[in-house]
Structure 1
Amino acid sequence: MTNSKPTAPTAPANPRTTTTASLKRLLPFARPALPALGASAVAAIVATVCGLTFPLVIQWIIDGPIARRQLGGLWWPAVLLVILGVAEATLFWARRMLATRPTMRVEASMRAALYERLQQLPVSFHDRWPAGQLLSRAVSDLSTIRRFLAFGLVFLVVNLATFVIGVGILITLSWPLGLIVAALAIPLVLLSFQYESRYQILARRSQDQVGDLATVVEESVLGVRILKAFGRSSHLRRSFLRQAGDLRDTELSKSKVISVLWAVIIALPEIALGIALVLGVRQVAAGTLSAGTLVAFFGTAMGLRWPIDSIGWLLAIANDTAAASDRYFEVMDAPVTVTSPDHPIPAPNPSGRLRLKDVRFHFADAAAVDGHPADTLRGIDLDLHPGETVALVGATGSGKTTLSALINRLYDVTGGSIELDGVDIRDLDLDVLRSRVSVAFEEPTLFSASVRENVLMGKPDGSDDEVRAALAVSRADFVDELPWGLDTRIGEQGMSLSGGQRQRLALARAVVAHPSVLVMDDPLSALDIHTEAEVEAGLRSVLAGTTTLVIAHRASTVMLADRVALLQHGRIAAVGTHSELMSTVPAYRDLLASRDDAARAAEVNA
């Protein structure tokens, strides 16, 4: 198996995808929030109209009570201004309250859908994708989408409506001056389209770099013991700083693009207002325009500054969100290749009969030979009888772990078939299959949860008695010495425990459900000789009634088996008892002898 993972692309997967098309993909998730967002937009538009009414009231004051020197007539306009101010503030509060909860629910539903998808996707997908890239999509990208829905989308609508309403008011007040302000919309639209494509590429690159940076941080935290032990912290720090510098450069490039756009967006209204001011003053001087109308015109025009100035910022948010949407749907669109059949065959009564028939397998990224991917497994035939224990031995890289991952469909065979109780495992419901086949991996993965919760992942409805019985089998009596026994929380990856303790808990998790088939990938490799002997004694009671395939590297583990299968060059080279193979198969004898010598040397050094 290759462990290499791709570097995230620095441009959209489909460069022809427009911002609008990317944003439209959010519609199925956003649809429940649309009524609230519509109400939020209406509240904001009405609040803006209240603000645009201020200059008209001021026009009334200047051309009315002030021009006629009737100060008593100021009361009603003053009361109206207070009402408009209170209404504007209240409506903006309502806008935020209307948008916040629904958009948070959208974010939560998208995050839940992404998590569910990650659980459905095959192991081959996770082999290729760095964890930091997935983490950044689940956290920062979804936060970007929520902010756009709650604020950016609403104000794209609100600011457009504000501009149209405001220009309408300006034209009503003075159509020549109003047309001057309206004319600036043409260069703004053209300029926005010009800068959109450049910013879109940079937005995608930035988000991919955030994912890469998250991967470096995650690996440095999980591997902190290795980094400290080998004194390599400074090396990874340099790598982190280099990637952080790349991200900084991308963000600076984004800032340069948006700053130019923003500068022009600010300059154009200033020019238009300057021209309008000169013409307006001349009209007032000529008596064709009242002073109140000119003040109202410029008061309304200044009220349009925020909708105009925010165009660049809103376009930036829209492009960031489009890139986040593309990244999100890259995961959601990934094919789920290991699934339950549409019409699964009812599982027969469990007996534990396991049969491998001409099993072939290659990884998707395997090197091609004669135009075809090279098989890791090249035709495996193996029959395990109910209750039988078969040890699988072979040199490093022979495909033992790969074979073990096929039994419960972590990967699917690319040729041949695997049958459980006479039924092809691809015809069984996936949940049923995995309830009957348990796996204990060589590298145990524990979660930040209690001992009880970690063990019961093998049987969610199990009792404490079943947990303790499984711990007894794996000889994990150290649990009783932990501060809170079964309730003791294990740190991330179980690093607070020794390697042997982690393996014993993982073994307890595998046996707690009393599976029909138990697959053990060298589950005792981290144990010393004495503890291994104790665990093997406990396992014998379980293995007596369970069909077991155990990947073995030491003769002591092989002794647990009724039969032994030698895997060589992707094929089963020999099958027999341990003593038969020792006497008749030199390759088997040499393999076990070399490993026992290595194990004894490691024990002496320890």
Structure 2
Amino acid sequence: MTERPLPVAERPAVRRAAARLIRADRGAFTAMLLLNALAAAAGLVGPWLLGRVIDEVRAGAGPDTVDRLALAIVVFALAQLLLTRWARLVGHRFGERTLARIREGFVERALALPPATVERAGTGDLTTRGTTDVAAVGTALRDAAPEVLIAALQALFVFGAVFAIDPLLGLCGLTGLAGLSFAVRWYLRRARAAYLAEGAANAALADLLATTAQGARTVEAFGLREGRLAASRAAIAECRRTRVRTLFLRSVLFPSLDVSHTVPVVAVLLVGGALLDDGRLTLGAVVAAALYLRQLAQPLDTLMMWLEQLQSSGASFARVEGLAGAVRAPGHPAPEPAGDRIEVSGVHYAYPGGDDVLRGVDLTVRPGERLAVVGPSGAGKTTLSRLLAGVEAPHAGSVTAGGVALADLDPERLRRQVVLVTQEHHVFLGTVRDNLLLAAPSAADDELTAALAAVGADWAGELPRGLDTPLGPEGHRPDAAQAQQLALARVVLADPHTVVLDEATAMLDPRTARHTERALAAVLRGRTVIAIAHRLHTAHDADRVALMAEGRLMEIGTHDELVSLGGAYAALWRSWHGDRP
């Protein structure tokens, strides 16, 4: 299946998201601004006092005056140190709280994504956004943002001080930064796209490595090693190409910073010397202006050092915030289905780049009906199950529940309406109880025990700590059959209107599978059950049987009707029993 990357938020959306985060903790943000401003102001006093010392000495002042001014320099330097540390503490706390909100919002959005979106995006993109990108945003909020804020205020105040000494010296300082300004604009025009491309390449590589590791046995069995190696080399080459691009951008930006440290100071000394000769400025004022601009080196270094991090983090934030574009927008409530009747009308479906897998399928599933869908491999049974569960949307035709297209249902409402259970299953780290409460958070222990009993999970009652037994490396390691029974128990607890079972008991041995299917049938009585199966005893027990072949619905009726008809289903039934036509 061709992957489709999750959306990336545009700049206006990222700015709005940042504004929402600031408003959520505006008190800390305001305190951070105020403390940084006070720290920057305290840092300006030292050079001014040093200029005063020079002028006082030239005027013949005594040691007492110099000592007082020197003591004042020490006091203001200490005040700057304390205010800066306090500002950083407030900034770090603001960053951690904001990062927690971003993480929580990411998890909520990820869980609210439509199933088809998650399927098409692949695990690499979503995982990279939830780990690498969120971590990059956290670094920016915790470290980069406070540092940049302090540096920006210091630079602003420094230029203000130089302009206060003499406007001409201030203009000299600005003129000296013209080259840096040009380099920064050049960098910013290219940086966002470059970092987004780097993030996408990293996500693609992560997804490729994950799928290769998960399917290692399949790769070896079918001799796909060289093909996967070639794909990995191509993905690594793309990562390298995008990384080299961002490194090139930095190689242009940072040398311009080195020049900007010296040019403004030289310009002020030259112009200041001329003004000193004309008597328009004192020596102390020229020295103070030069010291101010020399002091500008530290905030400029900080700004440029973190500018690259902020661009990278900005691209990461755009990827994290991009999940909002894949979730139904609030204020546009999804329609509510009127009943549980499922209608499949004229459905065509093809996976990207392939031919139609389903061709004009029409099917009605009545509420409370048990429908078995059978047919040879490649008939389109699994694809139909995905459409019936709302994981995919048809390219033509419609799949509705209660008159509402499944694709239009809110994901939470869809999960209550239809649940798809496949051969794939997952055991989460935690106890047996934790794994079951995912489906019904308010369920009592007796309900959990009843759900396990309903699917024949007798082994759960024999565990040393019962429902509190940890599952995973530190506790009980369930085998494939037990993991599948846990998944089925979650279905029982979720209590949906419709259950789609796509070979849901395939991991169980035939005897256990038969027992589990009968137990499930008893528990789900009154619910709509659509079973995609190869074992025809499932069809024998169903209310109706639908036979698929080559993406079409060929026959539908009760088991006895289709056997009597003597068509494809009858032949399949006789073949399954080992009979000859």
Out of 90, 109, 119, the position equivalent to 1:117 is: 109
- Give 5+ residue unaligned stretches, structure 2: none
AA aligned to 1:460 is P
Out of 247, 253, 277, the position equivalent to 1:255 is: 247
Matched with 2:502 is 521
Deviation at 1:424, TM superposition (A): 5.3
Matched with 2:345 is 358
AA aligned to 1:360 is V
In 2: Cα distance, 1:546 partner to 1:161 partner: 65
In 2: Cα distance, 1:540 partner to 1:192 partner: 67
Contact kept in structure 1, 2:343 and 2:364, CA below 8 Å = yes
Matched with 1:100 is 92
Contact kept in structure 1, 2:422 and 2:504, CA below 8 Å = yes
In 2: Cα distance, 1:181 partner to 1:443 partner: 66
- Tell me the secondary structure at the aligned position of residue 564 of structure 1: strand
Matched with 2:482 is 501
Structural mapping, 1:450-461, within 5 Å: 450-461=431-442
The alignment yields a C-alpha RMSD, in angstroms, of: 4.0
Matched with 2:448 is 467
Out of 302, 305, 312, the position equivalent to 1:313 is: 305
Out of 21, 45, 55, the position equivalent to 1:29 is: 21
Provide the aligned length of Structure 1 versus Structure 2.
575
- Tell me the secondary structure at the aligned position of residue 471 of structure 2: coil
Contact kept in structure 2, 1:392 and 1:400, CA below 8 Å = yes
In 1: Cα distance, 2:399 partner to 2:12 partner: 46
Give the direction of change, closer, same or farther, for the CA distance of 1:544–1:165 in structure 2 (3 Å limit).
closer
In 2: Cα distance, 1:317 partner to 1:295 partner: 34
Contact kept in structure 1, 2:5 and 2:125, CA below 8 Å = no
AA aligned to 2:294 is M
In 2: Cα distance, 1:475 partner to 1:251 partner: 53
Matched with 1:559 is 540
Alignment of 1:126 with 2:113, yes or no, is no
In 2: Cα distance, 1:126 partner to 1:335 partner: 11
Give the direction of change, closer, same or farther, for the CA distance of 1:503–1:308 in structure 2 (3 Å limit).
closer
In terms of mean alpha carbon deviation, does 498-507 or 337-346 score higher? 337-346
Matched with 1:197 is 189
AA aligned to 2:363 is D
Give the direction of change, closer, same or farther, for the CA distance of 1:222–1:95 in structure 2 (3 Å limit).
farther
Contact kept in structure 1, 2:173 and 2:264, CA below 8 Å = yes
Contact kept in structure 2, 1:171 and 1:177, CA below 8 Å = yes
Deviation at 1:301, TM superposition (A): 1.9
Give the direction of change, closer, same or farther, for the CA distance of 1:168–1:498 in structure 2 (3 Å limit).
closer
In 1: Cα distance, 2:346 partner to 2:536 partner: 26
Matched with 1:489 is 470
Q: Deviation string for 1:529-583 (max 9, x for gaps)?
A: 3323333453453355544322220223333324322123444322334344335
Give the direction of change, closer, same or farther, for the CA distance of 1:495–1:127 in structure 2 (3 Å limit).
farther
- Tell me the secondary structure at the aligned position of residue 397 of structure 1: coil
Matched with 1:604 is none
In 2: Cα distance, 1:513 partner to 1:178 partner: 70
In 2: Cα distance, 1:65 partner to 1:153 partner: 42
Contact kept in structure 2, 1:473 and 1:539, CA below 8 Å = yes
AA aligned to 1:169 is A
Contact kept in structure 1, 2:201 and 2:235, CA below 8 Å = yes
Alignment of 1:211 with 2:192, yes or no, is no
Out of 39, 45, 50, the position equivalent to 2:42 is: 50
Contact kept in structure 2, 1:425 and 1:433, CA below 8 Å = no
Contact kept in structure 1, 2:176 and 2:263, CA below 8 Å = no
Give the direction of change, closer, same or farther, for the CA distance of 1:298–1:139 in structure 2 (3 Å limit).
same
AA aligned to 2:204 is D
Contact kept in structure 1, 2:187 and 2:253, CA below 8 Å = yes
In 1: Cα distance, 2:276 partner to 2:436 partner: 85
AA aligned to 1:4 is T
- Give 5+ residue unaligned stretches, structure 1: 348-352, 369-373, 598-606
Give the direction of change, closer, same or farther, for the CA distance of 1:337–1:584 in structure 2 (3 Å limit).
farther
In terms of mean alpha carbon deviation, does 528-537 or 338-347 score higher? 338-347
- Tell me the secondary structure at the aligned position of residue 26 of structure 1: helix
In 1: Cα distance, 2:492 partner to 2:300 partner: 66
In 2: Cα distance, 1:113 partner to 1:438 partner: 25
In 2: Cα distance, 1:485 partner to 1:286 partner: 93
- Tell me the secondary structure at the aligned position of residue 188 of structure 2: helix
Deviation at 1:134, TM superposition (A): 1.6
In 2: Cα distance, 1:163 partner to 1:540 partner: 73
Give the direction of change, closer, same or farther, for the CA distance of 1:204–1:533 in structure 2 (3 Å limit).
closer
Contact kept in structure 2, 1:338 and 1:412, CA below 8 Å = no
In 1: Cα distance, 2:454 partner to 2:410 partner: 29
AA aligned to 2:423 is E
Alignment of 1:91 with 2:83, yes or no, is yes
Contact kept in structure 2, 1:121 and 1:337, CA below 8 Å = no
In 1: Cα distance, 2:78 partner to 2:575 partner: 86
- Tell me the secondary structure at the aligned position of residue 380 of structure 1: strand
Q: Deviation string for 1:364-422 (max 9, x for gaps)?
A: 84768xxxxx5725232334464x433211222333233334445444565355455xx
Deviation at 1:303, TM superposition (A): 1.1
Q: Deviation string for 1:426-463 (max 9, x for gaps)?
A: 69887566446444323223322322232343433322
Provide TM-score, normalisation by structure 2.
Answer: 0.84
Alignment of 1:62 with 2:49, yes or no, is no
Contact kept in structure 2, 1:555 and 1:596, CA below 8 Å = no
Deviation at 1:54, TM superposition (A): 0.7
Give the direction of change, closer, same or farther, for the CA distance of 1:28–1:474 in structure 2 (3 Å limit).
same
In 2: Cα distance, 1:417 partner to 1:233 partner: 40
In terms of mean alpha carbon deviation, does 505-514 or 271-280 score higher? 271-280
Provide TM-score, normalisation by structure 1.
Answer: 0.81
In 2: Cα distance, 1:272 partner to 1:28 partner: 39
AA aligned to 1:376 is L
- Tell me the secondary structure at the aligned position of residue 429 of structure 2: coil
In 2: Cα distance, 1:268 partner to 1:412 partner: 57
- Tell me the secondary structure at the aligned position of residue 525 of structure 1: coil
Structural mapping, 1:66-85, within 5 Å: 68=60, 70-85=62-77
Matched with 1:603 is none
In 1: Cα distance, 2:555 partner to 2:221 partner: 42
Deviation at 1:229, TM superposition (A): 8.3
In 1: Cα distance, 2:389 partner to 2:142 partner: 44
In 2: Cα distance, 1:571 partner to 1:236 partner: 34
Give the direction of change, closer, same or farther, for the CA distance of 1:476–1:551 in structure 2 (3 Å limit).
same
AA aligned to 1:165 is F
AA aligned to 2:171 is L
Contact kept in structure 2, 1:474 and 1:504, CA below 8 Å = yes
- Tell me the secondary structure at the aligned position of residue 256 of structure 1: helix
Deviation at 1:92, TM superposition (A): 0.8
Structural mapping, 1:577-588, within 5 Å: 577-588=558-569
- Tell me the secondary structure at the aligned position of residue 362 of structure 1: strand
Q: Deviation string for 1:488-508 (max 9, x for gaps)?
A: 33339x994332222222222
Q: Deviation string for 1:270-295 (max 9, x for gaps)?
A: 13323444565677689876543443
Matched with 1:378 is 360
Contact kept in structure 2, 1:380 and 1:570, CA below 8 Å = no
In 1: Cα distance, 2:51 partner to 2:185 partner: 37
In 2: Cα distance, 1:21 partner to 1:338 partner: 15
Give the direction of change, closer, same or farther, for the CA distance of 1:187–1:86 in structure 2 (3 Å limit).
same
Alignment of 1:404 with 2:385, yes or no, is yes
